[in-house]
Structure 1
Amino acid sequence: MNNSPTFVIVGAGLAGAKAAQTLREEGFDGRVILLGEEPERPYERPPLSKGLLLGTTPRSDVYVHDAGWYDAHNVELRTETRVTAIDRTARHVVLDDGEQIGYDKLLLTTGSTPRRLDVPGADLDNVLYLRTLAQSDRIAEALTDKSRLVVIGAGWIGLEIAAAARKHGATVTVVDVAELPLQRVLGDEVARIFADLHRSHGVTFRFGAGVRELHGSGRVSSVLLTDGTELPADTVVVGVGIQPDTQLAEAAGLKVDNGIVTDAQLLTSDPHIYAAGDVANAYHPLLHRHIRVEHWANALNGGPAAARAMLGQQVEYARLPYFFSDQYDLGMEYSGWAAPDGYDQVVFRGDPSVADGEAPEFMAFWVSEGRVLAGMNANVWDVTDHIQALVRAGHAGTAVDLAKLADPQVPLGDLLG
């Protein structure tokens, strides 16, 4: 009789795959079952809107592990497998074919799903979303010279797709109800830089307008905006945000509030169930609040943290939110957490102006009462550790000299004494 424990992971993305890897690295010799709905083995999502669309990343590079890793490490990877229910009392999950798989510990890394466009014509052909490899392939096929692309939503995904489309020679219009791209995330000062960058590369913005309906006969041909403007379109890509995939958790009676609520160990309201990645609304001990982070680094680090917690190790998941983006010749990294109404100014180090179509080199810091809450480095490298130190100190209550913060001649490492 086999008495070794069974750990089940629902969601075969980066967080789930890294959790499985960590379980084996930490010496867990029980059964590890990794369940995913997609036909692909686990892969990383950033290349979907970056290197794969640009043609600079080989498809083979997107996978978390090579094809033989799962068998070699005795991880039971089941693709094209959907979990339909969690029975918390019996401690098993139910698959779509009726099979029941018992668990001693369960990790939910179900991720998120794109918000759908709810207007007439949204079901026309060539109205596309980006979340999966297959969807990235479909968008890549549409980014051809002289094709007319309308991107709905000026967030990170929308802007990265716009940049890739311009690289391929497509005509690009980006539509958003806000007045600037990334306005809610970055605030007006930094958002203007991204607007200028995209305009310098030929992107047209339609701000302050929503989408009334999509027109076409079978296939989309135009986008009618709420201000009456009609935009011709061969392809529409919708990037209006994502929502955590909490259906399983909700049906199972777990605590859900903008994601699956967890403590700092990524433990849910059930003592046998953990959550990590996009779907987890986790308590952050430095920020003293629950946050849900929809970025690659959170999946990369959250999956292993949850795995260690499942093994009974003392875990405090306190990594700062971090993300990166590449658009044209601008590469940036962002570290920290600054709510839209949680800072009083943005301090720049370096000139953030877009000149002659070239991306600037600068840093930006979101500050409240002299405390750095978040920082961005754009085309300035090897400074993330220093920025994160400033952010950690800022959230812990330490203020810095803002004149020195803005002075490129003062090393960032000197600001904390």
Structure 2
Amino acid sequence: MTGPAAAARVHVIGAGLAGLSAAVALADRGMTVVLSEAARQAGGRCRSYRDSVLDMVIDNGNHLVLSGNPAVGRYLKAIGAQDRLTGPLSAEFPFLDRGSGRRWTLRPNDGRVPWWVLSASRRVPGTRLADYLPLLALTRPHPGRRIDEVVSCHGVAWEKLLRPLLVSILNTRPEEASADLAGAVFRETLTQGGRQTWPRIATPSIAAAFVDPALGRLREDGVEIRLGRPLRAVTVAGDRLAALTFDDGEERLGPLDKVVLAVPPWTAQALLPQMTVPDDFRAIVNAHFRTASPANARLMVGVIGGTAEWVFAFPDRLSVTVSAADRLLDMDNQTLTDLLWRDVAAVHDLSGPAPPCRIVKEKRATFAATPAQEARRPASRTAWANAFLAGDWIATGLPATIEGALRSGEKAAALAMASR
């Protein structure tokens, strides 16, 4: 057991992207920070590791950000990793329709006036200008309403553009998802012009871009980083947290100490049962195939009418992401491998059996982006004067995304510093 520290400290609990964002912001302002993480590696759901089956480093999933994500830009600049994202210098989203075999590329123009919807070569084949009006409708506020209460969930534009985009953004069946969460993303991206929607992928891995440089920066700033240190309990005294109990002992909190809880919602509620948090979640399934990408392969290709939704091409592997994938969780891995490989082979004109593959199933990848779950997201500020929340599941106004996680860390850090 330790007594109160002589100098004020901020305990950041959780070294996922939200916790790393908070720790980086706090250390940058000269705060004394202790970063504790239950797992033996940082990154949370955005982690990289050497896979024993493939004998190569892979990411647990394929994580896409956009050129117009401001918190991503601020975070990467703070940790000196601005060069760790790659992608085309234009908004290009190629698609393959598995039913018809037709290929096309969605190409929003860079400027804010969306003239691309007038160009048949830039929009979805078979659509007209009127088919894109739902995008405009979703940018307006619709508190508590589902997407299917705001726009028609039918037609070519819905099936071949809006539904694929929305399911990947929200990780929830779009018809039941929150119209406001969808609108928040569109307001910050497409309505600001195609320049804000250039796709960006972490290079060479998610850890190399978002995690390892952050840990290096924090160590340079003297932050105490303690991995493999789960928080088991908190002691509450009045309107403050008084102590934190880890596996290695209890830390008493001094009168100026603060706590940023950047843990999953179920962990936060177990520690502080009085809190209301999201309690319904959706799965994401990823598949990584160990094979060199074909020459001139597109960075990412959307799949319409297949099992895969996006196929990503890395130098040493081809990877697949399926969002809102609860239906696939009970499928055996070999069957799922063969099913997904058929989509990958169609995208890249490949033949032969599936190469070695690793299937990664994240059962609780994100909270369900429904109006009911949106109403359960807590604010950064808690009922306890020295405790603040961070995570993509708190009330960021965005779905569960990297951008939302990083913003939540910035917000928690700002509140912790202001409360001095």
Identify whether the pair has TM-score above 0.5, normalized to the shorter chain.
Answer: no
**Greater strand proportion:** 1
TM-score (normalised: structure 1): 0.41
In terms of fraction of residues, the more helix-rich structure is 2
